[in-house]
Amino acid sequence: MTIAVAGLGTVGAGVIRVLDTHADLLTRRCGRELKVVAVSARDQTKDRGIVLETCEWYDDAAEMARKADAEVVIELIGGSGGIAKSVVDGALDAGRHVVTANKALLAHHGTELARAAERAGVALAYEAAVAGGIPIIKALREGLAANSFDRVYGILNGTCNYILSAMRETGRGFDEVLAEAQELGYAEADPAFDIDGVDTAHKLAILASLAFGTEVDFDSIYTEGIRHVSPLDFEFAEELGYRIKLLGIARRTPSGIEQRVHPCMVPLADPIAHIEDVFNAVVVDGDAVETTMYEGRGAGEGPTASAVVADVVDIARGRTAPAFGVPCGELTAPSPAPITQRTGRYYLRLTVVDRPGVFAEIASALKENNVSMEAIIQRGRAPGEAVEVVLTTHETRDDSVAATIDAIAESDAVLEPTRLIRIVSFG
């Protein structure tokens, strides 16, 4: 089977390395040889440690996607539009199968691309777009095809999980740990997509579409990143029996599909609380299979190449499926349930002046908004000075908590914006 590769960064070079190293093994598993016939990247002269002499070189990846004599086009350029989209559009138009690792593209244009693939009668495969080498797309679409799903959630961004793990272990602040993650190559020079939760939201949009049979609906996702998580929050989390994780959570609710990305207080009894460092994990609850969890490395050359090549093997074997599990015509339109309706428990951290009457003001803000307090902790005493007060609530609605925070902000005893972290419970 002939293959064209668009993009020869870490993952692109990794894919070519795997195809080369395991040529014999892959031929046995595919029933035919896999042959890279064309490649495209920005710089033809760069030494990537891979042999490209037998491939046709294209400076223009979109041209390659349309013209190269390849049955499969692998898109590893990235980005939600631009050249990556031209490559995928061009390949599908030309009737070539597409394999991509591009979560941003799928989050923004997934349904449209799936329709184009369906029209062309080719595969749109994207195992590498979510959770790196963990075959979670295949699990949801095929391995768990007997199930109706009510919930899928996970740690989908290794950069954030590394930062949160390191902050907890070392007690250091966000900026310092981020800088270290950048030095180690775990975070990009521009880390915004990762740390602001956008990358997690891209992946969540894909998982939700697969799980619930809905059109990809990235725009409805409530997204909050990890910039505001402070070493103090880790101290309180420890005391309260939680780990802080950035989760992507999608749920089917009576009022529609809820999709949200935000830092969570996860009880220690929950297995996902123990996924540390750059590891990813996805938890799927199916009505027949009950809870299953999948974990592994969510990024990097080897894991991502593993997923890309698995898609190629599937195509070589003729093992295809509708991109989102059912034909595009069967995907239902998005009906988002807003996060304001989410009910659950909440952790609030307030920075207030330590003086008589402050607790009464807080209590009154809670009461006005019908929010019932579970516990309150003040660390230390400093009359007249700033102190940190943490309170946790009983089950309540997200909008009630937001209103409570607004009410609290009006007190002149409150010195800093109140920080909120949602407490989750998946039992």
**Per CB under 8 A, 147 contacts its own copies:** yes
Closest CA to 362 of 419, 421, 422, 413: 413
- Chain centroid to Cα 64, Å, comes to 30
Strand-pair category, 256-267 with 290-297: unpaired
Q: Which of 233, 314, 388, 398 binds its own copies (CB under 8 A)?
A: 314
| Cβ contact 220:107 at 8 Å | no
Query: Residues touching its own copies: how many (CB under 8 A)?
Result: 56
**Per CB under 8 A, 388 contacts its own copies:** no
**Per CB under 8 A, 267 contacts its own copies:** no
What is the nearest approach in angstroms of its own copies to the Cβ of residue 344? 25
- Part of the chain binding its own copies (CB under 8 A), chosen from 27-35, 70-78, 188-196, 245-253: 27-35
**Candidates 138, 203, 245, 367; catalytic one:** 203
- Part of the chain binding its own copies (CB under 8 A), chosen from 23-31, 107-115, 172-180, 345-353: 23-31
**Per CB under 8 A, 327 contacts its own copies:** yes
If you ran DSSP here, which 8-state letter would residue 130 be given?
S
**Per CB under 8 A, 376 contacts its own copies:** no
138 is a catalytic site residue: no
Could you tell me the two tokens for 309? 């090549």
**Per CB under 8 A, 296 contacts its own copies:** yes
For its own copies, the closer of residues 146 and 333 by Cβ is: 146
| Cβ contact 170:176 at 8 Å | no
Q: Which of 93, 287, 406, 416 binds its own copies (CB under 8 A)?
A: 287
**Per CB under 8 A, 120 contacts its own copies:** no
Closest CA to 264 of 208, 342, 171: 342
| Cβ contact 120:95 at 8 Å | yes
**Per CB under 8 A, 29 contacts its own copies:** yes
Residue type, 32: R
In the range 1-20, which residues lie near its own copies by CB under 8 A?
A: 14, 18
Quick one: which H or E segment has residue 234? helix 231-240
What is the nearest approach in angstroms of its own copies to the Cβ of residue 162? 15
Q: In 3-state terms, what secondary structure has residue 387?
A: strand
**Per CB under 8 A, 96 contacts its own copies:** no
How far apart (Å, rounded) are the C-alpha atoms in residues 75 and 83? 10
For its own copies, the closer of residues 130 and 339 by Cβ is: 130
Q: Which of 240, 321, 373, 413 binds its own copies (CB under 8 A)?
A: 321
In the range 207-226, which residues lie near its own copies by CB under 8 A?
A: 213
**Per CB under 8 A, 32 contacts its own copies:** no
Strand order through the sheet with 56-58:
56-58, 35-40, 2-6, 72-75, 97-100, 124-125
Cα→Cα distances 100→15, 146, 388, 425, Å: 12, 26, 47, 34
- Part of the chain binding its own copies (CB under 8 A), chosen from 55-63, 87-95, 129-137, 340-348: 129-137
Quick one: which H or E segment has residue 159? helix 158-170
Q: Which of 157, 306, 369, 404 binds its own copies (CB under 8 A)?
A: 306
How far apart (Å, rounded) are the C-alpha atoms in residues 229 and 245? 10
Q: Which of 148, 255, 340, 364 binds its own copies (CB under 8 A)?
A: 148
How far apart (Å, rounded) are the C-alpha atoms in residues 245 and 426? 14
Q: Which of 20, 23, 31, 335 binds its own copies (CB under 8 A)?
A: 31
Rg of the chain on CA atoms, in Å: 24
Closest CA to 255 of 422, 397, 77: 397
How far apart (Å, rounded) are the C-alpha atoms in residues 284 and 293? 6
What is the nearest approach in angstroms of its own copies to the Cβ of residue 231? 24
Residues lying near its own copies in the complex (CB under 8 A):
14, 18, 22, 25-26, 28-29, 31, 127, 132-135, 138-139, 142-148, 213, 271, 274, 286-297, 302-303, 305-310, 313-314, 317-321, 325-327, 330
What residues are labeled active site?
Answer: 203
